[in-house]
Structure 1
Amino acid sequence: MSFSNPTLITFVIYIAAMVLIGFLAYRSTENLSDYILGGRSLGSFVTALSAGASDMSGWLLMGLPGALFVSGLSESWIATGLIIGAWLNWYFVAGRLRVHTEHNGNALTLPDYFSHRFEDNSRVLRVLSGLVILVFFTIYCASGVVAGARLFESTFGMSYETALWAGAAATIAYTFVGGFLAVSWTDTVQASLMIFALILTPIAVMLATGGIDPTLAAIEMKNSEAFNLFKGTSAIGIASLMAWGLGYFGQPHILARFMAVDSVKSIPNARRIGMIWMIACLVGAMAVGFFGIAYFAAHPEQAQPVIQNPERVFIELAKILFNPWVAGVLLSAILAAVMSTLSCQLLVCSSALTEDFYKPFFRPNASEKELVWVGRAMVFAVAVIAILLATNPNNRVLGLVSYAWAGFGAAFGPLVLFSVLWKGMTRNGALAGMLVGAVTVIVWKQFGWLGLYEIIPGFILSSIAIVVFSLIGPKPTKRMVVRFERADREHAAS
């Protein structure tokens, strides 16, 4: 690995810029609210791109192109489900959650919101939701570390063990220092880099294979089934891929962006920006993998790394087709995707440990400065655990992400939806829904019944549990109903 390597220089400049943004955000971080939610000051543009970048992890540039490269368009069902789910989340949850969190104790985290929304004086709801976040997000963080390590390993020839730490170090640095503002500002830069890479790369691949018609003809010749949307699928398989969209309602790192927006009036514009960005990125990522079939069919001598690991298709195409300086910028997009999601996950875990465990149970009178520094310490602690979990180089990004995504989607998705849409929901309903959703995902994952993605039974059973236990138990208090109606009116008037 030479320090005159253009790709390495590009990476170093990029990482230095992200860390600099972290230090700039440090100057605007005065209390725990600033560190966790940026003082609820995000505009629509930053909210949209930050939500998108925190959502689309290394999976966008590695897992998805790899799936299209191997199986063709039949893997596009997942993108369709994600687009539908993301739009529904923006439309039904974003504005309502922004208002409801403010009316319920100005909550900074989801466990804090649940605790105030359902007047849970026992703190059981806060503790259990905090534990769900820590368990599933630590797995999710590990997937980000794996993606970053694979990038450094394949780009610079590092050992996997060295690449683990190199890939995570910069993310830990700016998240540790700058908190939510650093994460959101860097997300905006990273989202811009990602869309640039995912528009430019498929165009370059297509040109390298002779244009759109020769490219499609080459794909047809290599694998005629690649165009078949239903190849190797079943009703259950398609439903499982589409069901990824259900996960959006329960992802704490995405919901945190909704909570941090400066005003509910900013949500419609943020929704438009966010959805345009998301659709462009998903189409670009699929095109990279799909057009890659044609390129490597024409250049089999260059195909060995992709045959060994299809998730490297974007990395290899960028290195082959572009000048090393441009390739460095494009490969930085993978680092951007990894860093943007990993930083959000680290911050949410830190927030849960600080706001939902440390402050209420150990130091209720802790100063704001102390809480910020505890939050920073928790960022580092969770990162180390995630790195240790990622030490197995045979991990697959998509497999790890799918488990964590389902866990949050089933445990928190129905809970968040019902909490902002139904004033009759109670604490018992919330507890039952969260536990049933989480346990269903864990059990279903182990047994793999019907080949059905575990988020579907988890989401359905969680929703049923919320309704049943809310109806058969104690009714919501008058204060809960009044707060709900006041928040609902504010949202309707926006």
Structure 2
Amino acid sequence: MVVNVGGVVAVVVFYCVILLTGIWASKKARREEKKCQTSKSEVTIIGGRNISLLLGSFTMTATWVGGGYIMGTAESVYSPELGFVWAVAPFAYIVCFLLAGLFFAKPMRSKRYVTMMDPFQRSYGNAFTAALLIPALFSDIFFIACILASLGGTISIILGISSTISICVSSAVSVIYTLMGGLYSVAYTDVVQLCLIFIGMWVSIPFVLLNPASVDISQTAFLNQSNHTSWIGDLKLEDAGIWADMTLILALGSLAYQILYQRLLSAASSTQAQFTCFVAAFTCFVVGIPSILIGAVAASTDWNQTEYGLPSPYERGDAPNILPLALLYLTPTWVSVLGIGALAAAVMSSMDSVLLSSASMFTQNIYKSTLRKGASERELLWVIRTCVVLVAAAGTGLAFVQDSVVYLFVLSADLLYCVVLPQLICVLFCHHANIYGAITGYVVTLMLRLMGGEPVLGLPCVIYYPGWREVDGVIKQYFPFKTLAFLTSLVCITVVSWLARLVFTQHLLPLSWDVLRVFREKEQAEGAAHNDRAKRPNSALLETPL
């Protein structure tokens, strides 16, 4: 494989620019720490709640427009068994951000939470919060693996260097500037990265569309699937359950990401947090359009007329890397290099955010609240930095063993959708929700999800839902069992919480059976308040002068 020296130099320059931007932002973060009334750890986690609307919109968009989003969308459109109808991410994210702005931004920001786990800690205590942090942490690691795997394949194809080197270098650069400046470094580097993503992707579109090896995509939209050129795709009735699960996971599961609330909670006001979501809904879709077009052109290309030759990328198993392949063989060299810069920017803009989100939740909701309640600010900052390194190492390691960007992309939101999102909805909007319902929902939903199997992780199928089939020796579930798990969790939390409140407040069961002390402590507090009010008139009478 020949190394593209010019491309390597361009990427090195880009990495240096990002690193210098992160260093500059870290100095701003230190200045903010001196004048800000909040703690240093809060400045690192949420920027002292002083992120402007423009900067917040940039960093929100850049975080979601990652390597998985860009490459996964192109892969879906190109793959004959999928097609445009399966490229749901750009449309799902519109729904996600609109829901976040309309329903989640105000209750989270107005109560001045620091992380997404704070409402759970206040309502359910430390132990349940720690249990809920586990799926959130795994989701972040899957997300990091997804975006690093996408970058490794891209750089290997376009620049001719080892994917191992590109993955390690990109991970190291992201870790360095995240450690230095926290959210400020992440946000300001996101500005540079999003600009490069937008320019790099859109500049390539005219060259891709006008390449002589490609047929007009309007003519190939509905060709027979066997020709491997139909990019619209087909949604069969038997696949409707899988499609619904994938769409809802991306649209609703994304509402349970800490990276979303890290940006909402860093806004100066609740109104600004809402507007940040609305802007991101538009910009994420616009940046996703080039991926759709590139996937459609790749499906309409006679690869025998290019230097790539035959068999096609799909037949060689290169569908996950179709975007960098299209940039390399259907555009001039300088455009493909600009495209690799855009992919690198997309990866780092998402990775740094995910690293900081995991570290923030562990430090704020586990270490500070449970393990070391008297920890100093300096100690908390070092815990954040240690967590950033550990999560980066775990995600980087997984990136070497998983090839499909699309599967990791969806799997990263899977656990959040099934387990965390119903808990978040209930703790924010269901006022009678309590720890009894929360535990029941957590256990039941986790069992339903895991027993449904997961081929990507090698989990065997225990529950065979209606419509299951065995494909190439692997059980494939066609029933939307993930959405079933999500709905089951909502029902369990609300119903069990209501029953627990009923049996204890109506004294159908003695309060001594309230082992989690939810209603016992509440009744004791109410009794103490009643006794205090009863004593006040007598005290006032004694103090009245004759």
Shift of 1:95: 2.4
State yes or no: 1:112 paired with 2:137. no
Match of 2:139 among 136, 140, 152: 136
Residue matched to 2:53: 44
Distance 2:312 2:110 in 1: 49
Distance 1:56 1:163 in 2: 19
Q: In the TM superposition, what are the counterparts of 1:69-88 in structure 2 within 5 Å?
A: 69-71=78-80, 72-88=83-99
Distance 1:2 1:290 in 2: 28
Q: Is the 8 A contact 2:5 2:159 kept in 1?
A: no
State yes or no: 1:400 paired with 2:427. no
Distance 2:482 2:189 in 1: 30
Distance 1:439 1:93 in 2: 27
Match of 1:167 among 165, 170, 192: 170
Match of 1:192 among 177, 195, 202: 195
Q: Is the 8 A contact 2:213 2:306 kept in 1?
A: no
Shift of 1:319: 2.4
Q: In the TM superposition, what are the counterparts of 1:4-403 in structure 2 within 5 Å?
A: 5-27=5-27, 28-29=29-30, 30=33, 31-71=40-80, 72-100=83-111, 102=112, 107-116=113-122, 118=123, 120-121=124-125, 123-209=126-212, 214-218=216-220, 222-223=227-228, 225-230=230-235, 234-243=239-248, 244-297=250-303, 299=305, 301-302=307-308, 306-307=313-314, 308=316, 309-392=318-401, 394-403=402-411
Q: Is the 8 A contact 1:133 1:352 kept in 2?
A: no
Gaps in structure 2 of 5+ consecutive residues? 34-39, 455-460, 466-476, 506-517, 523-546
Q: Which amino acid aligns with 2:493?
A: I
Distance 1:95 1:46 in 2: 19
Between stretches 31-40 and 406-415, larger displacement belongs to 406-415
Shift of 1:209: 4.5
Q: Which amino acid aligns with 1:163?
A: S
Q: Is the 8 A contact 2:294 2:323 kept in 1?
A: yes
Q: Is the 8 A contact 1:216 1:294 kept in 2?
A: no
Q: Is the 8 A contact 1:165 1:387 kept in 2?
A: yes
Give me the identity figure in percent. 19
Q: Which amino acid aligns with 2:6?
A: P
- Higher fraction of helix: 1
Distance 1:97 1:343 in 2: 22
Shift of 1:228: 4.7
Q: Is the 8 A contact 1:197 1:333 kept in 2?
A: yes
Distance 1:396 1:242 in 2: 18
* Number of aligned residues: 469
Distance 1:200 1:233 in 2: 39
Distance 2:444 2:20 in 1: 43
Q: Is the 8 A contact 1:296 1:302 kept in 2?
A: no
RMSD: 2.9
Distance 1:324 1:242 in 2: 36
Structure number with the bigger relative contact order (C-alpha 8 A, sep ≥ 6) is 1
Distance 2:305 2:444 in 1: 50
Residue matched to 1:489: none
Residue matched to 2:526: none
Q: Is the 8 A contact 2:53 2:275 kept in 1?
A: yes
Between stretches 261-270 and 72-81, larger displacement belongs to 72-81
Distance 2:207 2:173 in 1: 30
Q: Is the 8 A contact 1:74 1:233 kept in 2?
A: no
Distance 2:281 2:211 in 1: 30
Shift of 1:70: 1.2
Distance 2:328 2:383 in 1: 41
SS of the counterpart of 1:217? Answer: coil
Q: Which has the larger radius of gyration?
A: 2
Residue matched to 1:488: none
Shift of 1:69: 0.6
Shift of 1:364: 1.9
Shift of 1:2: 8.9
CA deviations over 1:256-294 (Å, ceiling 9, x no partner): 211221111213432332111122123321111012222
SS of the counterpart of 1:366? Answer: coil
Q: Which amino acid aligns with 2:148?
A: V
CA deviations over 1:8-35 (Å, ceiling 9, x no partner): 2221122112212221232214310011
TM-score, reference length from structure 1: 0.86
> In structure 2, do the counterparts of structure 1 residues 340 and 305 end up closer, same or farther at CA, with 3 Å as the change threshold?
farther
SS of the counterpart of 1:419? Answer: helix
Gaps in structure 1 of 5+ consecutive residues? 480-494
